[in-house]
Structure 1
Amino acid sequence: MENRLKGQVATARRSVLTEDVHERVKSLIMNGDLEPGSRVNIYAVARLLDVSQTPVREVLAALESEGLLTKEALRGYSVAPLLTRDQVADLYRLRLLLEPWAAGRAAETVTPETAGRLRAELASLPQAPPGTRYEDYHGIAAHDARFHDLVAELSGSPAVRDALRRTHAHLHLFRLEYEGRRSGEPTLAEHHRVGAAIADGDAAAAESAMREHLAAARDRFLRIGPPTP
């Protein structure tokens, strides 16, 4: 029993360390301290964070799967480039095809339990954060990802949910939106309109609210002026 408990404690500590390194490296990327296109050296990151190379290797692999890093043979990891205007527009074309349908379908099949899950998610972030660094806005970035994933889940379509997850949209878009500015208040207000329509079981209103939300978000990003190719 004692040996088993020791093993569990060691695993927990390792997990906490990896999570801490993950957030610290992600902060470097999201805040632009590691610039888009720059190489990410495992040894340099380990020295900077004063940790061993093992959790850094795990974290860089995880960040590649999240779309924040790219990896090339013989070159290692680099920070993924920011989205261009054309890429932002193309991303929203995809989302406008999938997510209004998902919201409408979620409303058609809503139950007291799923309505409660939506309300709980909306209540998890009462107001937008005031700062423009990742340490300030990571809460709304996480909420945005959870909210859109939840709507996709409630649509009952694993294919739609998986397609949206693969875009890594929230991280790339928040890198653009919060670079020296913030506009979280409209996002939260739009989420509440979508969530209320789904919870009410109004499929037409849910589909319309999601479409309006995505179009407004697209226009906000395009006004920011992401880099051209």
Structure 2
Amino acid sequence: MLPGRLVDDVHEAIKARIMDHEIPPGARVSIDGLARELGVSPTPVREALARLESAQLVVKEPLRGYRTTPLLTQAQLADLYRFRLLVEPWAAATAAERLDADGRTRLTAELATADAPESDTYAAYRAFSAHDARFHLLLAELAGSEQVRDALVRTNWHLHIYRQYYHRGIGPQALAEHERVADAVLARDAAAAADAMREHLERSHARLEEETP
């Protein structure tokens, strides 16, 4: 196995444990323990943890090693959605206004990749989470704004949401909401696209509030 592939596999294995709360929020992460569990040396574990730190799933504490980050509080969650509500309805509306043949093809193709997860594990949700991220980032791209796209990437919202929503079941609801947004964009109806995105974000936030202490 190539070293790069090994780190990728270790990264996904540790991320799954964090997302499924097998390593609970706020827990100490043992590099040596994970290395033994995964049957690898500590080196790919350290490299994987460095990646996870950039995704805000772990934090490195001086002289103490790594710890998983806490779940978002209601205030932090509200702040995240406040930001998203400022930029994403605009992105959906502008994507609708600017839509061309290439954008239509890309958006239609992305919708075709979406399937509702069949269980509550991160392994089942990983493909849907990836679609969720691509869908929202694609609308920012179709709106012509790299600044908005990059700002969304830095929030790592899709990881926080799927880690937060421990009792999931949100796939079919989110997919239906994505389809309403996409239908409005494909119809080049900017007002309807903005409204559909706003409704999607408000419903997503409400679902998460039910799970957040």
TM-score (ref. length: structure 2): 0.95
- The C-alpha deviation readout for 1:101-139, integer Å capped at 9, x for no partner, is 0111111111111111111111102x3112111111111
Counterpart Cα distance in 2 of 1:43 and 1:154:
45
Counterpart Cα distance in 2 of 1:131 and 1:176:
16
Q: Does residue 1:100 correspond to 2:80, yes or no?
A: no
Q: Does residue 1:147 correspond to 2:135, yes or no?
A: yes
The correspondence for 1:40, drawn from 29, 35, 43, is 29
Amino acid at match of 1:103: A
Counterpart Cα distance in 2 of 1:98 and 1:71:
31
Match of 1:205 in 2: 192
The correspondence for 1:173, drawn from 131, 140, 161, is 161
Q: Does residue 1:69 correspond to 2:69, yes or no?
A: no
Q: Does residue 1:27 correspond to 2:16, yes or no?
A: yes
Counterpart Cα distance in 1 of 2:187 and 2:4:
40
**Alignment: residue pair count:** 213
Unmatched tracts of structure 2, length 5 or more: none
The correspondence for 1:133, drawn from 115, 121, 131, is 121
Runs of 4+ aligned structure 1 residues displaced above 2 Å come to none
Match of 2:169 in 1: 182
Counterpart Cα distance in 2 of 1:66 and 1:132:
22
Unmatched tracts of structure 1, length 5 or more: 1-11
For the pair shown, which has the larger CA radius of gyration, 1 or 2?
Answer: 1
Q: Over aligned residues, Cα RMSD in angstroms?
A: 1.3
Q: Does residue 1:91 correspond to 2:73, yes or no?
A: no
The correspondence for 1:113, drawn from 85, 102, 118, is 102
The correspondence for 1:223, drawn from 196, 210, 213, is 210
Between the aligned residues of both structures, percent identity stands at 53
Amino acid at match of 1:210: M
